[in-house]
């Protein structure tokens, strides 16, 4: 479903989702509308230079989320276990410039703001030398 809208302009993606007969299309459509509203908010309130007409879907991925373990009644007093799977949908909009290059990315996480964790290293090996004799 997300492959249908990747790389398309926002208006084309909205039309595609509106006329697709999949159940998940309405959820992705709501998410796309929310991303568009966020871009509009950034353009008006925050003063970021984003032109809404030039936005396109840069990145759209559905990742696995947590699983909820549930029990369903079964015959003869038994119970069947099943898992309800949840998906995390990521959607990133970007603005295309006049030559087709990406001018502004809306909705992408800023990785530079997060503190970088120091890499753990193994303790340095002690230099091999002669063993000291124990005093008697």
| 17 vs 24: CA distance, rounded Å | 9
- Per-residue confidence at 85, pLDDT binned at 50, 70, 90? very high
pLDDT for 114: 43
- Give residue-wise pLDDT tens across range 3-50: 999 999 999 999 999 999 999 999 999 999 999 999 999 888 888 888
Strand, helix or coil for residue 52? helix
- Per-residue confidence at 101, pLDDT binned at 50, 70, 90? low
Structural domains in the chain plus CATH codes: 2-106 (3.90.470.10)
Is the model's pTM score more than 0.75? no
Q: What is the mean pLDDT of residues 121-127?
A: 59
E strand or H helix at 83: strand 79-96
What are residue 105's DSSP bridge partners? 94
């Amino acid at each position: 479903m997300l492959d249908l809208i990747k790389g398309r302009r926002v208006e084309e993606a909205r039309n595609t989702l509106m006329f697709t007969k999949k159940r998940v299309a309405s959820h992705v459509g709501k998410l796309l509308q929310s991303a568009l509203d966020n871009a509009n908010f950034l353009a008006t309130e925050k003063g970021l230079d984003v032109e809404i007409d030039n936005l396109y879907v840069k990145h759209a991925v559905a990742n696995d989320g947590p699983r909820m373990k549930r029990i369903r009644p079964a015959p003869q007093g038994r119970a069947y276990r099943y898992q309800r799977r949840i998906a995390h949908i990521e959607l990133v909009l970007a603005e295309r410039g006049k030559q087709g290059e990406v001018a502004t990315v809306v909705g992408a996480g800023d990785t530079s703001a997060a503190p970088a964790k120091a890499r753990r290293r193994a303790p340095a090996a002690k230099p091999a030398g002669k063993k000291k004799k124990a005093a008697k």
